[in-house]
């Protein structure tokens, strides 16, 4: 069930809120757990029992680990938990990838398993590993009730595509978050439906066009629109997930911080999918030794592991591995040369920013390509002029049709609204008028978004495939 | 964010909750709990496999049903349409093959096709019929542009509709199949092809159907040995009733009336006396030409999104014209024939129509033709039917399946 579907918006969400707030005290967590499992069952009925079993096993291991007296016992439970969860992920997500690769290497035809991917398995696995590791390290303050742990693992707004919250994020409830939650949910809904879904029409057309029907301008339009689409799709989803979490009184970590404002490739990943970057830092990079090892080569090896894993986490295909390695190369280059830090002039920094954005843009092209060859062919189309009057005309036509959404998307890549709000901080009346205007715009955007979904222009979340 | 509590966000939250509550109640969302949990019960893995044999709606079907019954649904479609018009997005619905011109006229496109399947099937049917001395005539019914460049210039996108048809007609003519291309008549008579069609629908108008019927009758006289009185189709023999801005076509319903506006409609009835036997399902009934038309559809007070398509007010029903002496014609047609069968029947004793997509692969068309003793077969297809066989999911997939 998509969070932008009418069934979710006008049936599931109000029913869940009503049941939750009408239930007294601690029983609310049990209710929310039941609601989360129902949500999962609607989204992925064939794996609901697997999901429940994975949650149960993870929570039991976490609790046993917490009670264990010896380090060896704790470590055993941790390793067992990680192996079980990672095993599920590897089996469901990577079996066919491994078989295909093996078939290519040995030049044999191996029948594929064609396994359906359990909903949100990549996110669930990472949350389960984070839960087990935090319990092992003693950083997770376990609730008395194990249902709380199950709720953390299954909480419905985050189960599909994150953010990858930590156990402690769900430690205290705050009913005052509700208003903020509605604001965030509405903002996310508009970002997803009004910008991402509409721009997806441009990218869907351009990325499937054969090379002979493309041109440099056409390819660039597709690439830029995809960069914007992916950001507003995922940031919109994250806003909705954060908003709904807040509506139930739970906090949720931020996932985006105006990523296209980045000064360098390294900093981009501190602004984009922040919770994933933090997960890899805390559960892969630092345990491998991070940057504090004496050997420089070891640091780069750690980075290589992190980025290779980041790549294939996003998808079971070589394009994603190459995509991850692309980030490793760029980040290793920046680390080795300290180039972003050495540029002093304003113009130099501006040029470096532009180059960074171009690099990210090419990376997204690979990310969206059906295979490596078509991704590289697309990039070639962007770099080498290939005159095609019809494709150029089509690009201009699409620009004329979608200029409004592209413009709004570009503007919203900059923190203009928070900065304006900050400027009006001391002027109460002006601030209230600004907030009221913003609320009206959000409500109007929400009405338009709902009408777009009803008119049949909705798309599933791009990030839901992971 | 300032620490001082703003009143705006609580107000916004209250409005949001109110919206959820109103839609929950007005759409009767609570009624979906039953079907949803029934679906869920069937969808989750279980040992009782018998339970799965009972049909239960899928989540997608429930979602679609819920959305299509959402409170204020048509107002929302209108809102989308109004916004799209305000921003002047002509290709806003291009993923549904809807392209909108400045005046709200909706066009669609066609992919390139080899025409191999269509040519092979048409020629084979002609050969089969020739062995039984039944003449075959193919009539190409145009789309809203008779030159692909018109569409390409308007939307900077390739379409192959006319070039596909040029290729198809050239190949079947080369194989000796008699064919009429109504695009030639449009050019000869210097007509504006857009005048023949509704703006918000892919069908042609009733007067266009009458115009085409005359040319078809001429073709039947020339190629099939008929002797139809062509003066029957003179417009002055018909009484016209016109409505302005009264209905919304099938494509227009997707784009919204606020975007494309409403269409005009003209009803035509012969001024002369007519006497028919209509072959209804399970019963035959007698009456004049007027019984071809479901006039209750022509009610401008009915919501344009809810009302039946005005184009289909003319029934595509098999009939016997008791005032005509000769001819037993089978029209292999499509929905364009709603407004050609009736007019054509004015000069032919018996006219039946068959829409191939309404019958599955097992339907034996050839036996059907022989058993019913037709003396001529007319294939009259909108030109976008060519290429339908390239896509097994297309509703036009079987339109050229004539082998049985």
Interface confidence, given as ipTM, is 0.92
Asked about A273 being catalytic, the answer comes back as: no
Closest CA–CA distance from residue B159 to any residue of chain A (Å): 12
* H-helix or E-strand spanning residue B360: none
Q: Is residue B101 part of a domain?
A: no
Is A13 within a domain? yes
Residue B34: the pLDDT is 86
pLDDT at residue number B55:
62
Overall average pLDDT of the A409-414 stretch: 97
Q: For residues A126 and A162, give the distance between their C-alpha atoms in angstroms, rounded to a whole number.
A: 10
Q: Which residues of A touch B43 (CB under 8 A)?
A: 41, 45-46
Looking at the complex, does the CB of residue B43 fall below 8 Å from at least one CB of chain A?
yes
What is the C-alpha to C-alpha distance for residues B6 and B334, in angstroms, rounded to an integer? 62
Q: Is the pLDDT of residue A460 over 80?
A: no
Q: Which of A171, A204, A235 is the last residue of a domain?
A: A171
SS (H, E, C) chain A: CCCCCHHHHHHHHHHHHHHHHHCCCCHHHHHHHHHHHHHHHHHCHHHHHHHHHHHHHHHHHHHHHHHCCCHHHHHHHHHHHHHHHHHHHHHHHHHHHHHHHHHHHHCCCCCCCCCCCCCCHHHHHHHHHHHHHHHHHCCCCCCCCHHHHHHHHHCHHHHCCCCCCCHHHHCCCCCCHHHHHHHHHHHHHHHHHHHHHHHHHHHHHHHHCCHHHCCHHHHHHHHHHHHHHHHHHHHHHHHHHHHHHHHCCCCCCCCCCCHHHCCCHHHHCCCCCHHHHHHHHHHHHCCCCCCCCCCHHHHHHHHHHHHHHHHHHHCCCHHHHHHHHHHHHHHHHHHHHCHHHHCCCHHHHHHHHHHHHHHHHHHHHHHHCCCHHHHHHHHHHHHCCCCCHHHHHHHHHHHHHHHHHHHHHHHHCCCHHHHHHHHCCCCHHHHHHHHHHHHHHHHHHHHHHHHHHHCCCCCCCHHHHC
- Kindly indicate the confidence band of residue A458, based on its pLDDT and cuts at 50, 70 and 90: very low
Chain A nearest CA to B88, separation (Å)? 7
Is the Cβ–Cβ distance between B143 and B186 less than 8 Å? Answer: no
Which candidate in B3, B5, B6 is best for mutational testing of the A interface (most A CBs within 10 A)? Answer: B6
In this structure, the answer to whether residues B67 and B122 fall within a common structural domain is no
| Beta carbons within 8 Å of B239's beta carbon, 6+ residues apart | B268, B269, B270, B271
User: What are the contacts of A64-71 at 24+ separation with CB within 8 A?
Assistant: A65/A132, A65/A135, A65/A136, A66/A135, A66/A142
Residues B227 and B298 in one domain: yes
Beta strands B328-333; B376-382: pairing state = parallel
**Residues in B 135-154 with any Cβ partner in A closer than 8 A:** 152
CA B85 – CA B343 distance, rounded (Å):
38
**Last residue in a domain, options A153, A171, A189:** A171
Of A181, A397, A438, the CB nearest to B91: A397
Report the gap between the CA of B280 and the closest CA in chain A (Å). Answer: 37
B62 Cβ under 8 Å from any chain A Cβ: yes
Answer whether residue B399 is part of any domain: no
Secondary structure (DSSP) of B107-176: E--------HHHHHHHHHHHHHHHHTT--EEEEEEP-S-SSHHHHHHHHS----HHHHHHHHHHHHHHTT
A425/B2 touch (CB, cutoff 8 Å), yes or no: yes
Q: Are residues A14 and A149 in the same domain?
A: yes
Q: Are strands B136-141 and B376-382 parallel, antiparallel or unpaired?
A: parallel
Q: Is residue B282 part of a domain?
A: yes
Which chain B residues are Cβ-neighbours of A41 within 8 angstroms?
A: 40, 43-44
B205: DSSP letter: P
For residue A466, the model assigns a pLDDT of 46
Q: Please, how many CA atoms are within 13 Å of residue B364, restricted to the half-sphere of its CB?
A: 5
Burial class (CB in 10 A: 0-12, 13-18, 19+), A57: middle
Of all residues in chain A, the one with the smallest CA distance to B41 is A45
The Cα A37–Cα A377 span in angstroms is 43
Burial B305-340 (b: 16+ CB within 10 A, else e): eebebbbebbbbbbbbbeebeebebbbbbbbbbbbb
Q: State both tokens at B44.
A: 């989750």
Q: In chain A, whose CA is at the least distance from the CA of B152?
A: A390
Distances A394 to A221, B88, B149, B156, B203 between C-alpha atoms, Å: 10, 16, 14, 5, 27
The Cα A333–Cα A354 span in angstroms is: 17
Chain A residues within 8 A of B21 when measuring between CB atoms: 14
Quote the domain boundaries for residue B116.
107-390
Specify the higher pLDDT residue, A292 or B266. Answer: B266
Same domain membership, residue A307 and residue A201: yes
Q: Is residue A124 part of a domain?
A: yes
Q: Are residues B119 and B268 in the same domain?
A: yes
Identify the helix (H) or strand (E) that includes residue B319.
Answer: strand B319-321
Residues B126 and B194 in one domain: yes
Q: Does residue A451 belong to any structural domain of this protein?
A: yes
Distance from CA of B60 to the nearest CA of A (A): 9
Residues of B in Cβ contact (< 8 Å) with A42: 36, 40, 59
Q: CB B20 to CB A213 under 8 A?
A: no
Same domain, A332 and A276: yes
> Do B58 and B169 belong to one domain?
no
Structure confidence at residue B49 (pLDDT): 52
Q: Which residue has the tokens 């594929």?
A: A112
Query: What pairing do the DSSP bridges indicate for beta strands B106-107 and B136-141?
Result: unpaired
Domain that holds residue A365: 180-465
Q: Is B111 on the interface with A (CB under 8 A)?
A: no
The answer to whether position A1 is within a domain reads no
Is residue A154 located within the same domain as residue A239? Answer: no
A202 and A145 within one domain? no
The span from the CA of B264 to the CA of B248, in Å, is 9
Number of independent structural domains in chain A: 2
Cβ A182 vs Cβ B9: under 8 Å: yes
What is the spatial distance between Cα A188 and Cα A203, in angstroms, rounded to a whole number? 21
Looking at the fold, whether A33 and A77 belong to one and the same domain comes out as yes
Chain B residues in contact with A177 by the CB 8 A cut-off are none
Residues 6+ apart with CB under 8 A from B32: A7, A11, B62, B66
> Can you give the three-state secondary structure of A249-261, one letter per residue?
CCCCCCCCCCHHH
pLDDT digits (tens, 9 = 90+) for A216-226: 999 999 999 99
**pLDDT tens, A49-108?**
999 999 999 999 999 999 999 999 999 999 999 999 999 999 999 999 999 999 999 989
Residue B326 sits in the same domain as residue B233: yes
Residue B67 lies in a domain: yes
Do B54 and B150 fall into the same domain? no
Question: If you average pLDDT over every residue of chain A, what do you get?
Answer: 93
Out of B51, B71, B91, a domain closes at B71
Of B71, B97, B122, the domain-final residue: B71
Closest to A451 (Cβ–Cβ): which among B8, B76, B87?
Answer: B76
Cα–Cα distance, A426 to B152 (Å, whole number): 56
> Does residue A364 have a pLDDT over 90?
yes
> Does B145 share its domain with B262?
yes
- Is residue A164 located within the same domain as residue A187? no
pTM across the whole model: 0.90
User: In this structure, are B165 and B214 located in the same domain?
Assistant: yes
Residue B93 placed within a domain: no
**Cα A108-A111-A112 angle, rounded to 5 deg:** 120
Kindly state whether residues B44 and B179 are assigned to the same domain: no
Structure tokens at A114: 């064609």
pLDDT at position A433 is 94
* Same domain flag for A248 and A384: yes
Which of A140, A171, A202 terminates a domain? The answer is A171
Instruction: Give me the number of domains chain B comprises.
Output: 2
More confident residue, A456 or A427: A427
- pLDDT at residue A176, rounded to an integer: 86
Of B71, B99, B121, at which residue does a domain stop? B71
Contact B151, B133 (CB under 8 A): no
Residue whose structure tokens are 């009429």: B180
Same domain assignment for residues A160 and A244: no
d(CA A9, CA A190): 13
Q: Are residues B25 and B146 in the same domain?
A: no
What sign does the CA torsion over A109, A110, A115, A117 have? negative
pLDDT for position B334: 95
Measured in angstroms, the CA of A187 and the nearest CA of chain B are apart by 12
| DSSP β-bridge partners for residue A64 | none
Tell me if B92 is assigned to some domain.
Answer: no
Q: Are residues A166 and A236 in the same domain?
A: no
**Does residue B39 sit within a domain?**
yes
A83 and A214 in a common domain = no
CA distance B76 to B65: 16
Rounded mean pLDDT for each run of 10 residues along chain B, 404 residues in total: 73 97 94 85 65 66 87 93 93 89 95 97 97 97 97 96 98 98 98 97 97 98 97 97 95 93 97 96 94 94 91 95 96 96 97 94 94 97 96 93 86
Whether residue B321 is found in the same domain as residue B371: yes
> Out of A7, A41, A435, whose CB is closest to B66?
A7
- Position A440 confidence tier, pLDDT thresholds 50, 70, 90: very high
CB contact under 8 A, B13 and A182: yes
Q: Could you tell me whether strands B319-321 and B276-280 are parallel, antiparallel, or unpaired per DSSP bridges?
A: antiparallel
Identify the pLDDT of residue A170: 87
Q: Do residues A290 and A326 share a domain?
A: yes
Burial class (CB in 10 A: 0-12, 13-18, 19+), A133: buried
| Range with the poorest average pLDDT among A393-407, A435-449, B21-35, B332-346 | B21-35
Is B252 a domain residue? yes
Tell me what the mean pLDDT of segment A361-366 comes to: 97
What separation in angstroms does the CA of B28 have from each of A50, A430, B21, B31, B119?
33, 41, 10, 6, 52
In chain A, which residues have their Cβ closer than 8 Å to the Cβ of B94?
201, 205
> What are the beta bridge partners of residue B238?
B270
Please tell me which residue of chain A has the smallest CA distance to B20: A10
Cis peptide before A163 (omega within 30 of 0): yes
């Amino acid at each position: 069930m998509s969070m932008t579907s009418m069934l979710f918006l006008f049936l599931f969400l109000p029913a869940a809120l009503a049941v939750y707030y009408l239930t007294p005290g601690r029983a609310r967590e049990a209710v929310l757990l039941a609601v989360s499992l129902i949500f999962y069952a609607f989204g992925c009925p064939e794996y609901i029992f697997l999901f429940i079993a994975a949650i149960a096993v993870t929570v039991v291991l976490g609790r046993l680990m917490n009670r264990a007296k010896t380090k060896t016992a704790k470590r055993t439970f941790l390793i067992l938990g990680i192996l079980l969860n990672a095993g599920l992920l590897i089996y469901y997500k990577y079996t066919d990838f491994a078989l295909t690769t093996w078939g290519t290497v040995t030049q044999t035809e191996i029948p594929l398993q064609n396994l359906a991917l359990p909903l949100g398995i990549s996110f669930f696995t990472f949350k389960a590993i984070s839960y087990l590791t935090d319990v092992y390290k003693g950083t997770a303050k376990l609730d008395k009730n194990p249902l709380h742990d199950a709720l953390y693992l299954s909480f419905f707004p985050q189960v599909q595509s994150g953010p990858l919250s930590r156990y402690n994020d769900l430690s205290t409830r705050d009913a005052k978050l509700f208003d903020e939650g509605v604001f965030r949910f509405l903002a996310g809904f508009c970002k997803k439906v009004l910008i991402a879904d509409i721009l997806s029409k441009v990218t869907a057309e351009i990325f499937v066009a054969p090379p002979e029907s493309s041109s440099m301008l056409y390819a660039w339009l597709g690439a830029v629109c995809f960069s914007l689409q992916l950001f507003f799709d995922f940031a919109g989803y994250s806003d909705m997930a954060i908003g709904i979490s807040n509506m139930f009184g739970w906090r949720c970590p931020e996932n985006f911080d105006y990523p296209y404002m980045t000064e360098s490739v390294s900093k981009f990943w501190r602004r984009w999918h922040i919770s994933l970057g933090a997960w890899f830092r805390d559960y892969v990079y630092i345990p491998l030794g991070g940057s504090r090892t004496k050997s420089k080569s070891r640091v780069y090896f750690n980075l290589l592991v992190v980025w290779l894993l980041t790549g294939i986490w996003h998808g079971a295909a070589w394009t994603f591995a190459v995509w991850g390695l692309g980030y490793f190369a760029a980040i290793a280059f920046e680390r080795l040369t300290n180039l972003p830090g050495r540029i002093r002039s304003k113009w130099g920094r501006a040029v470096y920013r532009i180059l960074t954005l171009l690099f990210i843009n090419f990376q997204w092209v690979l990310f969206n390509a059906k295979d490596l060859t078509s991704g590289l062919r697309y990039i070639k189309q962007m770099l080498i002029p290939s005159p095609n009057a019809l494709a150029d005309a089509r690009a201009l036509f699409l620009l004329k049709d979608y200029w409004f959404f592209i413009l709004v998307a570009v503007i919203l890549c900059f923190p203009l609204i928070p900065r304006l709000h900050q400027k009006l901080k001391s002027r109460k009346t002006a601030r209230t008028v600004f907030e009221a205007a913003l609320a009206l715009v959000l409500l109007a955007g929400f009405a338009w978004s709902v009408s777009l979904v009803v008119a049949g222009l909705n798309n599933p979340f791009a990030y839901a495939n992971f | 964010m300032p620490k001082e509590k703003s009143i705006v966000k609580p107000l916004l939250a209250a409005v949001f909750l109110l919206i959820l509550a109103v839609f929950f109640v007005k759409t009767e969302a609570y009624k979906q709990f039953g079907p949803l949990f029934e679906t869920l019960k069937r969808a989750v893995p279980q040992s009782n496999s018998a339970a799965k044999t009972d049909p239960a709606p899928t989540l997608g079907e429930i979602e679609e049903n819920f959305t299509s019954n959402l409170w204020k649904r048509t107002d929302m479609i209108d809102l989308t349409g109004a916004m799209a018009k305000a921003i002047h997005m002509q290709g806003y619905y291009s993923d549904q093959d809807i392209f909108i011109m400045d005046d709200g006229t909706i066009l669609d496109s066609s992919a390139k096709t080899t025409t191999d399947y269509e040519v092979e099937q048409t020629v084979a049917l002609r050969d089969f019929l020739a062995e039984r001395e039944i003449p075959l005539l193919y009539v190409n019914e145009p789309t809203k542009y008779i030159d692909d460049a018109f569409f390409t210039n308007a939307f900077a996108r390739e379409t192959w509709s006319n070039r596909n048809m040029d290729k198809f007609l050239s190949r079947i003519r080369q194989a000796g199949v008699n064919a009429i291309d109504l695009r030639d008549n449009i050019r000869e008579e210097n007509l504006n092809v857009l005048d023949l069609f509704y703006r918000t629908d892919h069908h042609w108008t009733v007067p266009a159907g009458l115009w085409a019927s005359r040319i078809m009758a001429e073709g039947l006289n020339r190629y099939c040995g008929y002797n139809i009185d062509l003066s029957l189709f003179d417009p002055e023999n018909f009484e016209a009733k016109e409505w302005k801005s009264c209905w919304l076509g099938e494509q227009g319903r997707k784009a919204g009336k606020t975007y494309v506006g409403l269409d005009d409609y003209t009803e035509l009835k012969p001024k002369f006396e007519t006497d028919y036997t209509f072959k209804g399902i399970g019963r035959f009934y007698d009456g004049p030409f007027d019984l071809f038309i479901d006039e209750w559809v022509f009610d401008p007070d009915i919501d344009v999104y809810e009302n039946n398509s005005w184009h289909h007010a003319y029934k595509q029903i098999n009939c016997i014209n008791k005032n005509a002496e000769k001819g037993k014609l089978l029209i292999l047609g499509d929905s364009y024939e709603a407004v050609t069968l009736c007019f054509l029947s004015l000069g032919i004793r018996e006219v039946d129509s068959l829409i191939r997509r309404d019958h599955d692969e097992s339907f034996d068309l050839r036996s059907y033709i022989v058993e019913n003793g037709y003396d001529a077969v007319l294939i009259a297809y909108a030109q976008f039917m060519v290429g339908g066989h390239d896509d097994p999911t297309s509703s036009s997939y079987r339109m050229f399946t004539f082998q049985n």
